[in-house]
């Protein structure tokens, strides 16, 4: 059966655009529309939607206030926020995600043609709706993670932590990054699928809550222990060795897995530069970005952790790694930071007094 969607937006034009775009998909059915938060709350029990799309900026009861009411009455009903690609839009969207929104999508720009806007909504939003509606019904049988012990040798330590994440990412990162200690002896590089402005504001929010400094990545910055770098929206991020140092590099090469930044791009580069001295972490997210990159880290001798299905908003990305048999361990979100610190510190205590093979 198609996924039933309630479209909430005060704009007649936006409601029609969304309704017409979604109507072209056999996987989605527009169960109804609402012009305000108040009307939406009244229609939910009548229409029984599987997913709600919710405009952030509405007169009267705005999107954040409507979301708060939805969460009180329907805590597990997926809600996708619609926001503008502006600094204010980014800030409010991150607030909405922190308050329980499942995902978000930025509205097509004014310069976009109607056909282009329709296609963007049809492809991106339909995928999000179907994925969120299928939460907890992946049909996957998790593969048993292998033990990494036989592959790791004395003198082999973790020198970098690389994280890939998407849908549900801001909240998940807010659980993991602030729990990493200020004396973490490795740099951290993160790809979170987000557009420009959003990634900078995400870095600022995490920085305010964390012992480690968190910044949006800049080309040429040298990697040092205890720093967190988040790939900027619309740029792939890689690491490059320059003499004895390792620096960040940014590019706008074609998207991979329909993403830029892409996790696969980052993971390939850390595997190439650091070889077996990598700890990769794949967390909640739609699609399979990161699976091929995790295989590169794995094949180079590095370790891979993935977030478990129960704590993921969408188990697409971590599930793809598990299906490929490339996960050393599957962790609930609440245990990921502890497992990261344990593995990093354990790998270093074992090599105390030995020269690192690829130290930063």
- Which residue numbers are catalytic? 166, 193, 289
Q: Omega into 216 within 30° of 0, i.e. cis?
A: no
DSSP 7-19: EE-S-HHHHHHHH
Residue 197 neighbours by CB distance under 10 Å: 22
Is the Cβ–Cβ distance between 297 and 280 less than 8 Å? yes
Pick from 251, 247, 213: which is nearest to 232 by CA? 251
3-state SS, residue 27:
coil
DSSP β-bridge partners for residue 5: 30, 51
Strands of 228-230's sheet in order across:
214-216, 228-230, 188-192, 160-165, 278-282, 303-307, 329-331
What token pair was written down for 206? 């995490």
Distance CA 120, CA 124 (A): 6
């Amino acid at each position: 059966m198609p996924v039933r969607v309630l479209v909430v937006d005060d704009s007649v034009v936006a409601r029609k655009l969304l309704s017409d775009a979604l109507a072209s998909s056999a996987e989605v059915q527009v169960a109804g529309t609402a012009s305000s938060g108040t009307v939406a709350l009244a229609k939910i029990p009548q229409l029984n939607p599987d997913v709600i799309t919710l405009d952030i900026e509405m007169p009267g009861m705005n999107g954040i206030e409507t979301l708060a009411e939805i969460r009180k009455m329907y805590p597990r009903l997926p809600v996708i926020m619609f926001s503008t690609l502006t600094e204010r839009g980014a800030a409010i969207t991150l607030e909405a995600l922190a308050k329980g929104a499942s995902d978000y999508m930025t509205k097509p720009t004014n310069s976009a043609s109607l056909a282009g806007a329709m296609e963007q909504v049809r492809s991106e939003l339909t995928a999000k709706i179907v994925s969120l509606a299928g939460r907890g019904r992946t049909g996957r049988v998790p593969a048993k993670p292998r033990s990494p012990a036989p592959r790791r040798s004395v003198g082999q330590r973790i020198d970098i932590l690389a994280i890939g994440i998407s849908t549900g990412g801001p909240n998940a990162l807010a659980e993991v990054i602030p729990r990493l200690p200020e004396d973490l002896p490795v740099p951290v590089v993160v790809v979170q699928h987000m557009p420009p402005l959003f990634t900078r504001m995400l870095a600022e929010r995490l920085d305010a809550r964390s012992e480690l400094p968190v910044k949006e990545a800049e080309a040429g910055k040298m990697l040092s222990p205890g720093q967190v770098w988040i790939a900027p929206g619309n740029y792939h991020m890689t690491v490059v060795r320059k003499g004895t140092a390792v620096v960040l590099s940014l590019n706008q090469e074609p998207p991979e897995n329909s993403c830029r930044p892409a996790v696969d791009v980052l993971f390939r580069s850390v595997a190439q530069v650091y070889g077996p001295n990598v700890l990769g972490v794949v967390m909640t997210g739609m699609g399979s970005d990161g699976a091929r990159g995790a295989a590169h880290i794995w094949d180079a001798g590095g370790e891979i952790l993935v977030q478990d299905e129960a704590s993921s908003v969408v188990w697409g990305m971590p599930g793809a790694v598990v299906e490929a048999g490339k996960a050393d361990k599957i962790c609930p979100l609440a245990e990921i930071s502890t497992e990261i610190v344990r593995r990093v510190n354990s790998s270093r205590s074992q090599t105390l007094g030995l020269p690192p093979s690829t130290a930063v």
